[in-house]
A and B are shown apart, each in its own frame.
Chain A
Amino acid sequence: MNDRVQEKLAILADAAKYDVSCSSSGSKRENKGGLGNASRSGICHSYTEDGRCVSLLKILLTNHCIYDCAFCVSRKTNDVKRAAFTVEEVVDLTMNFYRRNYIEGLFLSSGIFKNADYTMERLLRIVKKLRLEENYNGYIHLKTIPGASEELVKEAGRYADRMSINLEMPTEQGLKMVAPDKSHEDVKKPLAWVNNQILEYKQDRKLIKSTPGFVPAGQSTQMVVGATPENDLQIMHTAAHYYKTFSLKRIYYSGYIPISADNRLPAIDSQPPLLREHRLYQTDWLMRFYGFKVDEILNNHHPSLDAEIDPKFSWALRHLDLFPIDLNKVSYGMLIRVPGVGRQSAQKIIEARKFGKLYIHQLKKIGVAYNRAKYFIRCADTPFELGHLQSHQIRSLVLSESSSKFLKTSSSQLSLF
């Protein structure tokens, strides 16, 4: 019987791993005398050999599916082993993994069998059993099944910490190309239901403190990158729109990993676009934490992100007229726009400069990437230079001094002497 569970786990973990959402943060569910609680900042309990974190037991309830989406391993026409967990098996695995501190919680998704409501109802049954019968208060990330009824989605929200539903492709056209049965409308509807309900609960909580939580860690979504021909501009504009409209907590960008010989998709031996994915995440961070508007980074003149340099550096090179700035004077908002200065360094600079002007050696110690930052800043002992460097000069100077972690071999020539 054990071997059977192990085989199911192998199949259904493998099928779930292309959903890259991993976070376990944002909830503050407390332990009420049973097992588990949520950690505000989230905890990554392990990391696989691909360097991604393992914080949740990420599985599908089943990989049987009535849909035939070209990009998905579990598509109807794909010749893979199929399996399905029982409700009890999922609950047992979650409880026992959690008790051993293997995981931060459960991430439960499913292929769609019979119909959307039938599937959603099964997922709901597992979540309710964990919460109501097992007294489990750990993290639960529940997938919303597209097409499920509003009642089921809203009921699930009372037990889950986070809910998510994937856009899959960045544009409606892209999605139609690879998954003719699906549409972005099916995603927008449940996102809106849950978002409205979250806002309503927040209002109620202002009046009545004891109002129970509803999806306390908010919603997220995922876009597959590189499967369809959208450019970075389209991807990030979609992202910005969804962040704003549905107050999403996170959008995940998943570099497409070739799993299908379908001629609508990249060939099976092509490399996943890891560098591009990385640049998209950097842009996402600039939008959410660094006060950048999406138009500043990607617009019709610059529809694609620069592969060689990060998007903030690229932005700064296009706006040399704003630099150099005096680190001992400018605001926090401007400090974090300097390439090589992160949020923590910026906060330290703001505190430290109250005690006196800052010098280069202090900046380096504080954690500023000075080799990149030096072209954009002035501090107490910045050497005086005649004339200004042009943006292409700065770019090649910085690139010549650093080596990208994405390059497998160094491209610089050996020096003769």
Chain B
Amino acid sequence: MKQYVFDGSWIGLLTAVFEWFERRDGTVQLIHERYYQPEVFDTALVIRSHQEKAIRVTKGLYKYLNSAQCRTLYCTFLSEIPRCYDVLMQVLIRIFSGQPDALNNYGDAQALFIAQTAKSVEREKHRMKAFIRFEKSGDGLFFATAEPDFNVLPLITEFFRKRYADQPWLIYDVKRKYGLHFDTQKVSEVIIDTTVILPDLNTIAGTRYDEDELKYKTLWQQYFSSTNITARKNMKLHLQHVPKRYWKHLTEKQYALQNL
């Protein structure tokens, strides 16, 4: 089977679809270059991401799909699950080959995979809207770190820009090593250069935080414990809603973490 190897970008994926229709290569498999291992009998085509080609595929897509369906595809892509790229390409090829409603065929394994993966990604996006906890630094910046399961930062940009329009903020994805910074005018993508050693905000207590930060953290922790009804304690449900992997970024769970 022929293999297409791409750079893992959304544009690259769309370019791959374009190339397939140029070549009519029959059955192919799309692989992220990160997971590619050359095989003896298979041939590989390296896809070079091409903006124009990707735009043409996008325009074509909007002829067949509504914006909610396009979003489903993009969300599936953001899941970064190794096999998602190949499934997306197969389904895109089907959509352009006379099956414009292929995404609705929930009896089909690929269509169902896309629907379910997109749902997981949307769930993670919603969690990030909920679980991001800003800390105010001495210079007035509200900053937060997160480690979402999927690459959902592109999906929450607008939400935070609209909601926190009058305060500068920074959300940093520790796992993927990039962040979003809002300067009260526009949002831009930032990368923190870790080769320059910065003093750790946590080690020099208080000096780099806003002077009231600790006060509001304490008040929030107080509220969180006071609003709990002990007679109804249900840790199973609690953990289902707030899985442990999110605790380290949640202000209200710091106490519980220290006492694990």
Decide: B166 and A33 in contact? CB cutoff 8 A: yes
B9 at the interface (CB under 8 A from A): no
In the complex, B135 has a CB within 8 A of chain A: yes
Q: Is A321 in the interface zone, CB < 8 Å from B?
A: no
A352 to B108, CA, bound (A): 8
CB proximity to A under 8 Å, residues B187-237: 212, 215-216, 218-220, 222-224, 226-237
Tell yes or no: B130 within 8 A of A by CB: yes
| Bound CA–CA A196/B166 (angstroms) | 36
Interface size on A, residues (CB 8 A): 60
The answer to whether A44 and B226 touch across the interface, beta carbons within 8 angstroms, is no
Q: Is B51 an interface residue (CB 8 A)?
A: no
Q: Does B162 contact A (CB under 8 A)?
A: yes
9-residue interface stretch from B21-29, B73-81, B99-107? B99-107
How many whole Å from A168's CB to the nearest CB in chain B?
A: 18
Mark A residues whose CB is within 8 Å of B: 2, 5-6, 9-11, 13-14, 16-18, 30-31, 33-37, 39, 43-54, 57-58, 93, 96-97, 99-102, 135, 255, 257-258, 272, 274, 348-349, 351-356, 358-359, 362, 365-366, 405
Contacts of B251 in A (CB 8 A): 100, 102
Q: What is the bound-complex CA distance between A51 and B232, given in angstroms? A: 8
Q: Which residues of B contact A53 (CB under 8 A)?
A: 241
**By the criterion CB–CB under 8 Å, are A50 and B234 in contact?**
yes
For A255, the chain B residues whose CB sits under 8 A away are: 232
Q: Which of B109, B115, B223, B235 has the most CB of A within 10 A?
A: B223
From known contacts A31-B165, A35-B166, A101-B133, infer whether A50 and B228 are also in contact, taking CB-CB under 8 Å: yes
Taking A31-B165, A49-B238, A102-B133 as given, write out 14 further A-B residue pairs in contact, using a Cβ cutoff of 8 Å, ordered by the A residue number. Answer: A13-B222, A14-B227, A35-B164, A35-B165, A49-B230, A49-B234, A52-B229, A54-B227, A100-B136, A101-B134, A272-B231, A348-B115, A359-B107, A362-B107
The smallest beta-carbon distance between A134 and chain B, in angstroms, is 10
How long is the Cα–Cα vector from A352 to B104 in the complex, in angstroms?
A: 6
Assess whether B131 is interfacial by the CB under 8 Å rule. Answer: yes
Instruction: Give the distance in Å from the alpha carbon of A34 to the alpha carbon of B163 in the complex.
Output: 9
Nearest-neighbour CB distance to chain B for A265, whole angstroms, equals 14
* Residues in chain A near residue B159, CB distance under 8 A: 39
Is the Cβ of A43 less than 8 Å from the Cβ of B126? yes
Shortest Cβ distance from A356 into B: residue: B107
B257 part of interface (Cβ distance < 8 Å): no
Pairwise interchain contact A45-B131, C-beta atoms closer than 8 A? yes
Q: Are A49 and B228 in contact (CB under 8 A)?
A: yes
Given contacts A51-B238, A57-B223, contact A100 B105 (CB under 8 A): no
Of B215, B226, B233, B241, which is within 8 A of A47 by CB?
B241
**Residue of chain B at shortest CB distance from A56:** B227
Residues of A within 8 Å of B222, CB to CB, are 6, 9-10, 13
A103 to B135, CA, bound (A): 14
In the assembled complex, how far is the CB of residue A72 from the closest CB belonging to chain B, in whole angstroms?
15
Query: With A37-B162, A100-B133 in contact, is A6–B104 under 8 Å at CB?
Result: no
Residue from B115, B162, B228 with most neighbouring chain A CB atoms (10 Å): B228
Asked if B220 and A51 make an inter-chain contact with CB atoms under 8 angstroms apart, the answer reads no
Q: How far is the CB of B65 from chain A (nearest CB, A)?
A: 14
In the complex, residue of chain A having the shortest beta-carbon distance to the beta carbon of B216: A96
Asked whether, in the complex, the Cβ of A352 is within 8 Å of the Cβ of B107, the reply is: yes
Expressed in whole angstroms, the minimum distance between the Cβ of A141 and any Cβ of chain B is 14
Asked if residues B233 and A49 are in contact (CB atoms below 8 Å), the reply is: yes
Checking A16, A39, A51 against B241 with a beta-carbon cut-off of 8 angstroms, the contacting residue is A51
Q: Within the complex, which residue of A5, A16, A46, A57 is in contact with B252, where a contact is CB–CB below 8 Å? A: A46
B144 interface residue per 8 A CB criterion: yes
Q: Please give me the 8 A-B residue pairs with the lowest Cβ-Cβ distance, nearest first.
A: A51-B237, A352-B106, A50-B232, A48-B228, A13-B226, A47-B241, A51-B234, A352-B107
A158 to chain B, nearest CB (A): 22
CB of B43 within 8 A of chain A?
Answer: no
In the complex, what distance in Å separates the CA atom of A352 from the CA atom of B250?
40
Query: B95 within 8 Å of A by Cβ?
Result: no
Interface status of B129 (Cβ within 8 A of chain A):
yes
Give the docked Cα–Cα distance between A352 and B112 (Å).
10
Determine whether the beta carbon of B166 is less than 8 Å from that of A34.
yes
Complex alpha-carbon distance, A198 and B126, angstroms: 30
CB pair A352 B105 closer than 8 Å: yes
Q: State in angstroms the CA–CA spacing of A99 and B227 once bound together.
A: 20
Contacts of B44 in A (CB 8 A): none
A404 to B106, CA, bound (A): 30
Known contacts A96-B212, A96-B216, A366 near B165 by CB under 8 Å: no
Which residues of chain A come closer than 8 Å to B112, judged between CB atoms?
A: 365-366
- Contact of B6 with A by CB under 8 A: no
Q: Which residues of B contact A36 (CB under 8 A)?
A: 163-164
Nearest A-chain residue to B237, judged by Cβ: A51
A10 contacts which chain B residues (CB < 8 A)?
A: 222, 226
Give the Cβ gap from A352 to chain B, nearest Cβ, in Å.
Answer: 4
